[in-house]
Amino acid sequence: MENYQILFQPSSSSSSLSSSTHLPLFSSNMQNSNVLTNANGNSNGFWGLKTDHVDVPKSDANNTNPHETFVVSQDEVKQEKKKGEKKVRRPRYAFQTRSHVDILDDGYRWRKYGQKAVKNNIHPRSYYRCTHQGCNVKKQVQRLSKDEGIVVTTYEGIHTHPIEKSTDNFEHILNQMQIYSGF
DNA sequence: CGTGTTTGACCAGCGC
DNA sequence: GCGCTGGTCAAACACG
């Protein structure tokens, strides 16, 4: 993984990229800074989907209106590289948030199950799983090494249960993400 | 005591 | 086959 392509095209293959009709923005050579810039200046596109306020954890309440960039990726987590059996293929939804806190309070309860050092990044990547019974939604949280103010959160899977806390903003966002992605 | 975090070990995929 | 890397597991630990 280099240059944070994971955000838009985590798999090293570019086949799905070229065949992707809904995600023209996710070219392999696009730069993250451009993503931010475009999204901040243009909120029309759904990957430019941007909210003016997110539910920032109370302890960092003064960090208002972080810039956010939502990137809805139809990426396949595991492609059927093994001939016979196929791994579970789930879309991933990544978005960038300009925030000083890593953990966005999205209203769900998450349990951290791993942390790994990432190549070419001084910041580790954290792995979280939804603690709700039967809901195996995961998310990864990573901070950009080039811009420590940007936190990249990657969601994997769809919650099978209602939100647990009243964070209307994020729920709305998630709903929109699901709508746009066809779920 | 229940819940969540930390962290080293383990495993699988991929490139060489 | 081997090494690297990403992803997951699970025991130990911390905390309210």
Query: What are the pLDDT digits (tens) for A91-105?
Result: 777 777 766 666 666
Query: What pTM was computed for the model?
Result: 0.64
Residue nearest to nucleotide C10 (CA to C1'): A113
More confident: A105 or A133: A133
Query: What are the pLDDT digits (tens) for A13-32?
Result: 333 333 333 333 333 333 33
**Which nucleotide C1' is nearest A115 CA?**
B7
User: Which residue reads 């009243």 in tokens?
Assistant: A166
- Nucleic chain B contacts, Cβ below 7 Å: A 12, 79, 81-82, 87, 109-116, 126, 128, 131
Strand C within 7 A of A24 CB: no
Within A 98-137, residues with CB less than 7 Å from strand C:
113-119, 125, 127
